[in-house]
Chain A
Amino acid sequence: MASIVLSNVDKIYAGGVKAVNGLNLEIKDGEFMVLVGPSGCGKSTALRMIAGLEDISGGEISIGDRVVNHLPPKDRDIAMVFQNYALYPHMTVEENLAFGLKLRKMPKSEIQKRVQEAARMLGLEQYLKRKPAALSGGQRQRVAMGRAIVREPQAFLMDEPLSNLDAKLRVSMRASLNQLHERLGVTTVYVTHDQVEAMTLGDRVCVLRDGLLQQVDTPQNLFDSPVNLFVAGFMGSPSMNFAYAELTRDAGGAAVVFAGYKLPVPDSTFAEKPGLDRYIGKKIILGIRPSDFEDSVAANGNAAGWVRIPVRANVTEELGSEINVLFTIDAPPVEHKDTVAAQNDGDEEETTLPLTGDKSLWTARVNARSHVRPGQNIELVVDTHNLHFFDVDSGLSIGHEANIGR
């Protein structure tokens, strides 16, 4: 096992398109690193450069202590799992697993042992004599995984390995992947466009956009303190609500004012976000996570710092354990380039219909006990400790440690 270090890695395609731009990333020994971003952000290209399937236009990649820039893929001691499985269609499962070992001239008994071990680990024992065409998608994916495991490489590289599976299987394979990583402890680089996969799998998550690194951190930190509007909008589902707001301070303390609402900003927030006080009296972009709302009835008697706001529920999505309440606020939607990018191809969903006119559509995630119905007026409470503030021009999160001095 080994760490993987990318320093100032560039990938420039013919025609001058920069798919990866000065990427710096250190993946620690045994870490599960997820590269996430919308399609075309360079995440797959970065992975393929680590694998040696793409030339490196600039910078340096090292695996362990070796700089691998000019090593062919087979000498990098890594194994890769492809989105379309890339199994050898003319070989049985057993031959598929053993192929890489045979080419490395490993003794027969050792090959046999490793194949059996991997097959047992992945529940493939009864399929060893079958060809890939006779397997289901999930089984093929496990064979692809097994082919990586038997090699016992320095690192696993996975390129959207779950995206061809159906939703239910994807969730169970995600759990298996997690266990597998616990058990083997091999350094893993995992590429996905699915932020839920990224959050659940990664020890750390690296968010990329247009070939540029946005933020690398643990999933919780990415969620709690996104570095800019893009990361804020991309991570989390349903995504963060945004609105233009003004930061004010009067005798009663600091507050954000937007769309007729006034939310007090606790003093602790100013302590956590140095530089925020300089924005007093100016326009900012306010961000509130749907999960920082609650129905005031269901949240009866909640702690201090929760403020009530009355809204009218347009749509409710009942998910069983909770309800997504969609409501409009009387403010124009935030049309920052970062939020648009995060919304547009985050999950390959179609963009929402422009039914809300010049108003912003917000989402609140409330407890299922709320029993709110579409068209009802309800009172929501907001946790004002978790407000997010972004600079209107740069889209950077105000007071984020990575942004100080930027």
Chain B
Amino acid sequence: MRHGRLSPAVLRKYGFIASFLAVPLILYGYFVVAQYIQAFQISLTNSRGISPNFKYVGLENFTGLFDNDVFWAAVRHHGLILLAMPLATIAIALFFSFLLNLGGGQKNGRMAGVPGSGFYKVVFFFPQVLAVAIVGVLFQAILRPDGSGVINSALHAVGVDPVGWLVEPNLALWTIIGVMVWQAVGFYVVLFSAGMSSIPKDVFEAAALDGAGRFTLFFRITLPLLWDTLQVGWVYLGIAAFDGFALVQVLSVDRGGPDNATTVLPLEIWRTAFTYSKYGVASAWGVALFFMTLTFAVLTLRVTRRERIEF
């Protein structure tokens, strides 16, 4: 089998593997890789996306980026989202999943969640089921700046003036981050719950005998043993932080406003390409976004990498 000739057995083996790989690889190659390569190509041209005639302009589109205030605003927003959104989501999801799975302490010999945790699990997962556009529309009603918004009318009842959640330039981005967190938490509760249930129960029992209270149990046992799952969650959320297109598009004033206070790169790419019809420039933005996401993913995997925990 190892003498390099293609014996029938070898052919059969690799033919079997190839038959599984062929379709996804072709689809991926054509619809993902080829498009990226084309985007790299277009980013070097002055294409307007309408006529097939365009000129190569070198790195002009990229140098233009550095002088563009909107680009830098969007990058700054991504930075803020990247800092706040994963952190808040993971913290809240961890807290909930700990309560749901272990917070109730010992019950009939096994660790249990707080009473009613089966019900809460379903409730927490609801936002994940809704399409992002629907979430956007829902929150438009909730966040209306006048007294008839759900939150503002509640605030009014306790005597607080209406808050312009989405119209205050200093507040709008944070409001949108809040909605992102609201939508993401459910999924990560489920993810972390699965992670927690894969930790052997007798480890928790041993810790309880060793004198660990709920606090110690969480920080000294659960969290370190959940590290791998946490890392996965962090990468997912970080990559999601470079998106935010749909929510900003539906929810924000003026699509990225007020005054570009909430705009994100995908939204600007979309606008540059389809509103201003500057395909070359839009592709350059896209290439920039590609490298940002890639850098983030590689950095995260590098930083969080450590010895795998074996049970």
Contact = CB atoms under 8 A, between A and B. Distances in A.
B221 interface: yes
B209 A88 contact: no
Nearest to A81: B206
Contacts of A74: 208-213
Interface string A52-93: 111100000000000000001110001110111011111000
B310 interface: yes
A99 B108 CA distance: 25
Given A99-B210, A100-B210, A103-B212, A86 B205 contact: yes
B210 A103 contact: yes
A133 B200 CA distance: 14
Interface residues of B, number: 25
Contacts of B203: 86-89
Contacts of B224: 90
Interface in B86-112: 106, 108-109
A86 B200 contact: yes
B225 A90 contact: yes
A89 B213 CA distance: 19
Contacts of B216: 103
B206 A80 contact: yes
Contacts of A72: 208
A53 B212 contact: no
Contacts of A133: 309-310
Contact of A73 (B200, B209, B307, B311): B209
B202 interface: yes
A104 interface: yes
Interface string B279-311: 000000000000000000000000000010111
A86 B206 contact: yes
B64 to A, nearest CB: 50
Given A48-B109, A53-B106, A89-B225, A103 B211 contact: yes
A131 interface: yes
A360 B227 CA distance: 59
Interface in B205-258: 205-213, 216, 220-221, 224-225, 227
25 contacts: A45-B109, A53-B205, A54-B108, A55-B106, A73-B209, A74-B208, A74-B212, A80-B205, A82-B202, A82-B205, A83-B202, A86-B202, A87-B203, A88-B203, A88-B207, A89-B203, A89-B309, A89-B310, A89-B311, A90-B227, A90-B309, A103-B211, A103-B216, A104-B211, A133-B309
Interface of B: 106, 108-109, 200, 202-203, 205-213, 216, 220-221, 224-225, 227, 307, 309-311
